[in-house]
């Protein structure tokens, strides 16, 4: 399995070093080219209605899963903000996502867009409640840790703890925590499932995400796995709310994209 990933990794991935990553912009998008629609049609109009509803309703609860239209023109949609972000950050993120997704995927009925603070997708095929790890985006710090053995042990145990939190009944798919690696170094990690998933499906998505660590995150100082059903991230600086301090992130980040195969 890992070998297969590595082959795909070297064949299909575009790895781009983002020197000064725009922290508020999209991390990536997926426009399914097999789902082309005409831009003036009913499906397209229903997508716009759905996006308007996302902008209106997502900030108050952080999550909307709904559909718009009837029969062959029905579109299903999901919008979610990361569980730790404020209503205002959520609102800004969803507004930007709704605008960007239509620009990036103008003629596709299956489209998805990822940000750190939010995620949004729609499709004319129902996907609510299903685990989807077919398309993944990985961001990793190009720098490696100095003590891989000790680091991986601590990372594994922190991940185990927050994955356990995320699948608790009232957690809404969110788990986060930190571990002191030394008096000067703290490891921060966060996992988030989409809130339409059952606990078992959330656990399944997180297990797939973490199983990619050896391939994409191996000994890296920071890493993010972005799927349509879950988000996993760890860093050696605080990145989730409430923020630990004003220490900022590391811009030495590279991106890899894994397409469905």
Ligand X SMILES: *[C@@H]1O[C@H](CO)[C@@H](O)[C@H](O)[C@H]1NC(C)=O
Closer CB to ligand X, 58 or 108, in the complex? 108
From residue 50 to residue 89, what is the string marking binding to ligand X with x (rule CB under 6 A)?
----------------------x-----------------
Q: Does 251 bind ligand X (CB under 6 A)?
A: no
Nearer to ligand X, 75 or 202 (CB): 75
Q: Per residue in 98-135, is it b (16+ CB within 10 Å) or e — as a string? A: bebbbeebeebbbbbbbbbbbbbbbbbeebeeebbbeb
Residue 40 is given by DSSP the state: T
| Span from 18-26, 49-57, 92-100, 139-147 in contact with ligand X (CB under 6 A) | 139-147
Residues 6+ away with beta carbon under 8 Å from 243: none
Output the smallest distance, CB 39 to ligand X, in A.
Answer: 12
Instruction: Please identify which residue in 194, 215, 219, 228 interacts with ligand X, judged by CB under 6 A.
Output: 219
Min CB(5)–ligand X separation in Å? 14
Closest CB 211 distance from ligand X, rounded Å: 17
Consecutive H or E run containing 3: helix 2-12
Q: What does the alpha-carbon distance between residue 250 and residue 223 come to, in Å, rounded to a whole number?
A: 11
Number of residues that bind ligand X (CB under 6 A): 11
The reply to whether 6 sits near ligand X by the rule CB under 6 A is no
Query: Going residue by residue from 37 to 56, which x/- string records binding to ligand X, judged by CB under 6 A?
Result: x-------------------
Q: Residue 16: name the closest of 259, 258, 260, 253 by CA.
A: 253
The answer to whether residue 143 forms part of the interface with ligand X (CB under 6 A) is yes
Coil, strand or helix at 257: strand
In the complex with ligand X, the residue whose CB is nearer, 84 or 218, is 218
- The total of other beta-carbon atoms located within 10 Å of residue 67's CB is 17
Q: Which stretch binds ligand X (CB under 6 A): 17-25, 137-145, 206-214, 239-247?
A: 137-145
Q: Which of 55, 37, 45, 117 is nearest to 84 (CA)?
A: 117
d(CA 261, CA 9): 11
Structure tokens at 27: 């991390």
Interface with ligand X, residue 245, by CB under 6 A = no
In whole angstroms, how close is the CB of 146 to ligand X at the nearest point?
10
* Footprint on this chain of ligand X (rule: CB under 6 A): 35, 37, 72, 109, 124-125, 142-144, 218-219
């Amino acid at each position: 399995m890992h070998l297969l990933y590595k082959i795909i990794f070297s064949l299909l991935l575009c790895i781009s070093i983002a020197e000064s990553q725009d922290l508020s912009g999209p991390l990536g998008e997926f426009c399914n080219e097999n789902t082309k629609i005409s831009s003036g049609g009913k499906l397209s109009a229903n997508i716009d209605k759905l996006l308007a509803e996302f902008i209106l309703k997502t900030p108050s609860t952080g999550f909307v899963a709904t559909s718009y239209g009837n029969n062959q023109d029905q579109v299903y949609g999901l919008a979610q903000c990361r569980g730790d972000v404020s209503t205002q950050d959520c609102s800004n993120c969803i507004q930007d996502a709704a605008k960007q997704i239509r620009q990036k995927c103008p003629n596709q009925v299956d489209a998805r867009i990822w940000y750190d603070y939010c995620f949004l997708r729609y499709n004319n095929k129902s996907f609510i409640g299903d685990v989807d790890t077919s398309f993944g985006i990985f961001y990793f710090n190009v720098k490696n840790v100095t003590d891989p053995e000790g680091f991986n042990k601590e990372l594994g145990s922190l991940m185990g703890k927050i994955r356990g939190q995320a699948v608790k009944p009232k957690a809404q798919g969110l788990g986060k925590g930190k571990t002191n690696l030394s008096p000067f170094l703290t490891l921060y990690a966060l996992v988030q499932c989409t809130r339409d998933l059952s606990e078992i499906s959330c656990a399944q998505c997180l297990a797939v995400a973490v199983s990619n660590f050896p391939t994409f995150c191996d000994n890296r100082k920071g890493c993010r796995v972005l799927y349509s059903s879950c988000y996993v991230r760890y860093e050696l600086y605080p990145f989730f709310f409430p923020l630990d301090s004003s220490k900022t992130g590391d811009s030495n980040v590279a991106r890899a994209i894994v397409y469905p195969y």
